[in-house]
Chain A
Amino acid sequence: MDRDAGMSDSDQTRIAQQFIEAIPHARALGMRVDALGAGMATISMPWAEHLVGDPRSGVVHGGVVSALMDTCCGAAVMAHPEGPASTATIDLRIDYMRSATKGQRITARAECYHITRTVAFVRAVALDQDEDRPVAAATGAFTVER
């Protein structure tokens, strides 16, 4: 994703959505780019029956949250003003603070808070409709391919 200073935020978001839709797994999970800024990304996805990890509660599997967080963190790295040509996850830690509520959309917000020539550092949160109580938090390191 090349960044061009002449583009508006909505152009950026539209291009990011096309970028997301080119990723088969992101498409399979129904991910949507809600916002994109300098080193920031917000991506959400709907709850679905086939993503349930605990049939007793109907809560989505932690792996689904991981996939959303990973995609959102990668998008934040790509959206950084020193934007790399591409990126890959080096490591990602996720803290699960509570279960996401059954039936609610899950939204990830990621921020690339530091970037060097070779590594990007990212943190993110995952939220459902109760935005005051995060579902999960993530920190990760990503490669910077020039």
Chain B
Amino acid sequence: MAMDRREPLDQIKSRRDSALSALVSGVPYLAWLGIRFDRRGDELTAILPYDEKLIGNPLLPALHGGVTAAFLETTAIIELAWTAMWEDMESGRAVPDAAVAIAPPRLPKTIDFTVDYLRSGLPRDAYARARVVRSGRRYASVQVEAWQDNRSRLLAQATGHFLMPQG
């Protein structure tokens, strides 16, 4: 199915938003951490709103390193699943209907994940964006960056390898 230039904009937006929501809303841990995703076209920005339970060093105070790692890993997994979903959705292979609840798609599994901690996390909101460096049929490599107040002053960066869901 070719792209329809005349498709109403609200229909396009609702299709894309419901696809993203199907991906994110089914994961209890994302809701517990308070992570949500901002979408501009196909570009996703993950947002981690500050909460007291995210603190790892109460004296500074600073975000817990595990929270930073979890935020980066989540951003990588959702970006990877979203990229695969986007291609299916926009090529017309899968046509999610906004009126029908979509079953949560199968998520990629983490093989390994390496985090570089560049600054201590401030008790403020954090943001992250991931880039799929290479995505094959079975394996994928993803790079992800997180920051707080300034996009150019990174809080942490990470690289991970993932096993793509089969079938």
- Is the C-beta of A52 less than 8 angstroms from some C-beta in chain B? yes
Nearest chain B residue, comparing its CB with the CB of A51 = B29
CA distance A54 to B23 in the complex (A): 11
Q: Which residues of A contact B96 (CB under 8 A)?
A: none
Nearest chain A residue, comparing its CB with the CB of B54 = A25
B-binding segment of A4-12, A64-72, A112-120 = A64-72
Total contacting residues, chain A, CB less than 8 A: 37
Total contacting residues, chain B, CB less than 8 A: 36
Q: Which residues of A contact B74 (CB under 8 A)?
A: 61, 63
In the A-B complex, list the 6 residue pairs whose CB atoms are closest, starting with the nearest. A63-B70, A67-B66, A66-B69, A25-B64, A61-B29, A93-B114
Contact B117 A61, beta carbon cutoff 8 Å: no
- Is the C-beta of B115 less than 8 angstroms from some C-beta in chain A? yes
A-to-B contact residues, CB < 8 Å: 22-28, 49-56, 60-64, 66-71, 74, 88-96, 99
Query: In the complex, how many angstroms separate the beta carbon of A91 from the nearest chain B beta carbon?
Result: 5
* Interface hub of B58, B106, B117 (most chain A Cβ within 10 A): B117
Contact B107 A64, beta carbon cutoff 8 Å: no
Q: Which residues of B contact A74 (CB under 8 A)?
A: 65
Query: In the complex, how many angstroms separate the beta carbon of A100 from the nearest chain B beta carbon?
Result: 12
